[in-house]
Amino acid sequence: MNNISATFNRIFVRNLDGSDLMEIFFVTAVASILAIRGFLHLTGYPQFSPGNLHIAHVLVGGLFMLLAMIMFQAFTGRAARSMAALLGGFGFGAFIDEVGKFITADNDYFFKPSVAIIFIIIYFLMERINCSPWLSDKERLVNVLELTKEAVTQDLRSEDQQRALSLLNEADPKNPVTIALCELMKNIESIPAQGPDTWTRIKRRGQ
């Protein structure tokens, strides 16, 4: 049992930006469903059917989710991850919007419970992942390393630098990685604070 727990903790190290990324994904998915349903209602539910083909928007959703996966795997940095969460959310919304066709015998596109149930599951999964504010030393150090990437691309904000130093102050001071990262972070030149990012501004306006 201890080996399983150790393996789990080694593989699944929480990203402190994960809650924002999941929020972007979740909100974009809901917004894409509302936008698609609104557009289809206003246009009389048209079909894109060139020749003998029928291009359902579930396929468009799959394409956007594929692009999001490629971005997550091929690129690093906060901006790339935020864009991937946005694309993935739109793709998931377009995909899940047609799920009623695949779980009902009469291919009922307007089958409502399926979408609601799926989003409830996603919401509670997000809450479960982010429910514990406590961080292990490993999670603190890994997230500081993530922030150093922003310094390489010259996008490390002063508030992120202070956030990294705060995490290091809570980490094991005898750990050589802590010592090295602390020295590195203190010598990095950050860019001045530029106010909240786009997602934070959107959330504040919605409150």
What does the alpha-carbon distance between residue 101 and residue 179 come to, in Å, rounded to a whole number?
Answer: 56
- Characterize 146-172 residue by residue with b for buried, 16 or more Cβ atoms within 10 angstroms of its Cβ, and e for exposed: bbbebbeeeebbeebbebbeebbeebe
What is the average pLDDT score of the chain?
81
What does the alpha-carbon distance between residue 88 and residue 71 come to, in Å, rounded to a whole number?
Answer: 10
For tokens 């468009």, the residue is 60
Q: Which residues contact 139 (CB under 8 A, 6 or more apart)?
A: 13, 14, 16
Asked if residue 102 has pLDDT above 60, the reply is yes
Rg of the chain over all Cα atoms, to the nearest angstrom: 21
What does the alpha-carbon distance between residue 169 and residue 181 come to, in Å, rounded to a whole number?
Answer: 11
Q: What's this model's pTM, rounded to 2 decimal places?
A: 0.77
What does the alpha-carbon distance between residue 179 and residue 132 come to, in Å, rounded to a whole number?
Answer: 26
| Confidence category of residue 116, pLDDT binned at 50, 70, 90 | confident
Closest CA to 168 of 148, 151, 154: 148
Which stretches of 44-175 are DSSP H helices? 57-74, 78-96, 99-103, 112-129, 137-152, 158-170
pLDDT in tens, 133-156: 678 888 899 999 988 888 888 778
- Of the listed ranges 17-21, 32-36, 107-111, 181-185, the one predicted with least confidence: 107-111
Q: Are 91 and 72 in contact (CB under 8 A)?
A: no
Q: Which residues contact 94 (CB under 8 A, 6 or more apart)?
A: 32, 33, 36, 57, 58, 60, 61, 64
